[in-house]
Structure 1
């Protein structure tokens, strides 16, 4: 197992031990239940196309999340149908714990297929590829696909590092752009100068937003609402789905569609699982996933548009993307982006931007 030690904390290592124990206990408990496909011992990953195959597919998102609904509609159901019932998918939606727990399960083979973000992969295994999930780097899905093809999927890129850890990188789909929440309009970098901005504790994000001029303030996610309510912080950032789900519209009047970070997730495969499939079954799984990501992206984007309308109905001023000078933000953050490119990333920022 090859880990990027700079991408891990002592806390995540302790979590890994606890997650492995809890998954092991869950696996033993599952032996007495009706579903005997919860672990590798209960699955028939046969190389024969004629035998039944149960695939364990996991995501950290709950069943009601739009990405889970899209995966069921565009990946799970088509895969089961195309296989004439030979293949069934055991969906674990939000039931295996957090990101690290799910990655543990994928790496160990408890899970065969997982949806996860490039940020999660960089945090766990390859911090030099964090650029794929850092602010003001990726413009849109076409740009992300180009970056994936050049830097992430090749064996001399991120995928090579993942394979050393028993994981294979698959296709990506859109999960939402991140915007800026505040009590005033945000259109240009000058609008965020000195504003106390809550960010997740990712060093790269902090550097970029700090360079732009925000006063980055660490606040735990479960304290975000109260921090905004009491003025501990002035602003936050995240997808519109988060803005609505935790009722930030009650404490923030504006949502500016800065599109500073394109949210994506990849199909990730346990390598031993893939090796154990027949050629036909392997092709069926990957081709169905490739077909699914486009349709999933369309469904999630459509849902995102409806969420902006919902925010407006709740009284939020939504500043649309065409009113935000994204290029000005990129230019303001460029000194930090160049430093990250020089000292941390596996790529040159200009090479990445030129793929857009």
Structure 2
């Protein structure tokens, strides 16, 4: 439950509803002795938890600025859609959210998850850190009153099915599960897939029962949710560099002292590379295990360039306005 729901005294709940952060432990200056809630939807052993929000909490404590971060993994504070709504209202202080999910609040952010938007994770980080990213980050804050502290790597997304997918023609006739969001459905069209919307919690059963023929996700997710049990092939299409945004409530941020803001920003940004290394290590270990055991056939000769050319041509034709400008700016980033 979030802070308001955990509070047993109605009077205290009313106070918390009016303030973005917990009250000062000593009754002193604003923002002192503050505890923040940091939510994510991943399990406790997922890299975004053990090499992400847990590390942020540790580093904030080490900064010794009277700031503490309480972490809530595994959707303890609600589903993705619920938690970000709570960040906007100030009931939850911080959250890890996929760019596509945040696109529901501010559509340009979703373009970060467009197929082949970035060549690799370094390309994505380079763009995010450049002045070219400021308009989309500022626009997001204007619309949501939430601040993006940084972007973390989620992993490259690949196809699984009961046959190899080496090029767009191999997707013909397959019912592929894609998340039910505008940018993911656009990705399906861009790649030549026929998308079927299935809730993530139902993907395993849908694959097992043949309701869908395949799906796409990062390696860590495929392994964690045992999709390799109901699929015979993973095709390394690398069609999306998954991005996860670390967001903080605008009211929460405004309630922190400058020293606390600096410590929180530094903690989140310093974790970025640790989190990436954790993801990449997990991916390498899983691929090695699959190749050794034959649990699922690893197809590594995918025609990535054909997929990339098709996707970029599609988005050049279909995106408009700020979203098209943003997509083009990705290509201009070093």
Q: Same fold (TM over 0.5)?
A: yes
- Which TM class, normalised by the smaller chain length? 0.7 to 0.9
Task: Please list the CA deviations of residues 227-276 of structure 1 after superposition, one character each: whole Å capped at 9, or x if unmatched.
Answer: 32343322211122232233222221111121111112122122222222
Aligned pair count reads 328
Unaligned runs of 5+ in 2: none
Q: Secondary structure at the match of 1:339?
A: helix
Task: Output the CA distance in 2 between the equivalents of 1:54 and 1:211.
Answer: 44
Whether 1:303 and 2:282 are equivalent positions in the alignment is: yes
Deviation at 1:160, TM superposition (A): 2.6
Q: Distance in 1 between matches of 2:39 and 2:268?
A: 14
Deviation at 1:190, TM superposition (A): 2.5
- The C-alpha deviation readout for 1:274-297, integer Å capped at 9, x for no partner, is 222222221111112221111211
Q: Are residues 73 and 212 of structure 1, via their aligned partners in 2, closer, same or farther at CA, if it must alter by over 3 Å?
A: closer
1:144-201: per-residue Cα shift (whole Å, max 9, x none)? Answer: 12332457742x3233332442211111111211110012222222322332212122
Which SS does the other structure have where 1:194 is aligned? coil
Per the alignment, in what secondary structure is the counterpart of residue 347 of structure 1?
Answer: helix
Q: CA RMSD in A?
A: 3.1
Which residue is equivalent to 2:90?
A: 109
CA contact (8 A) 2:154 2:279 kept: yes
Which is further off, 214-223 or 230-239? 214-223
User: How far apart in 2 are the matches of 1:61 and 1:264?
Assistant: 14
Contact 2:232/2:297 (<8 A) preserved: yes
The 8 Å contact of residues 153 and 169 in structure 1, kept in 2 or not, is answered as no
In structure 1, distance between residues paired with 2:148 and 2:79: 20
- Deviation, structure 1 residue 211: 4.3
1:56 maps to what in 2?
A: 37
Matches within 5 A, 1:256-335: 256-312=235-291, 313=293, 315-320=295-300, 323-335=301-313
Work out the CA distance in 2 between the residues paired with 1:275 and 1:343.
31
Hey, what does 1:166 align to over in structure 2?
A: 145
Counting only pairs closer than 5 Å after superposition, residues 128-147 of structure 1 correspond to structure 2 as 128-147=108-127
Judge conservation of contact 1:209–1:333 (CA < 8 Å) in 2: no
After superposition, give the CA deviation of every residue in 1:292-312 in whole Å (9 maximum; x if it has no partner).
111211122112211223333
1:52: Cα distance to partner? 2.3
Matches within 5 A, 1:189-228: 189-228=168-207
Q: Residue 162 of structure 2 aligns with which residue?
A: 183
Partner residue of 1:238? 217
TM-score, normalised relative to structure 1: 0.80
CA contact (8 A) 1:151 1:157 kept: no
Matches within 5 A, 1:16-95: 26-29=5-8, 40=20, 42-44=22-24, 48=29, 51-72=32-53, 74-83=55-64, 86-93=66-73, 94-95=75-76
Matched residue SS, 2:163 = coil
What is the aligned partner in structure 1 of residue 77 from structure 2? 96
Quick one: distance in 2 between partners of 1:231 and 1:247? 16
Q: 1:318 to 1:76 in 2, by over 3 A?
A: same
In 2: Cα distance, 1:53 partner to 1:226 partner: 43
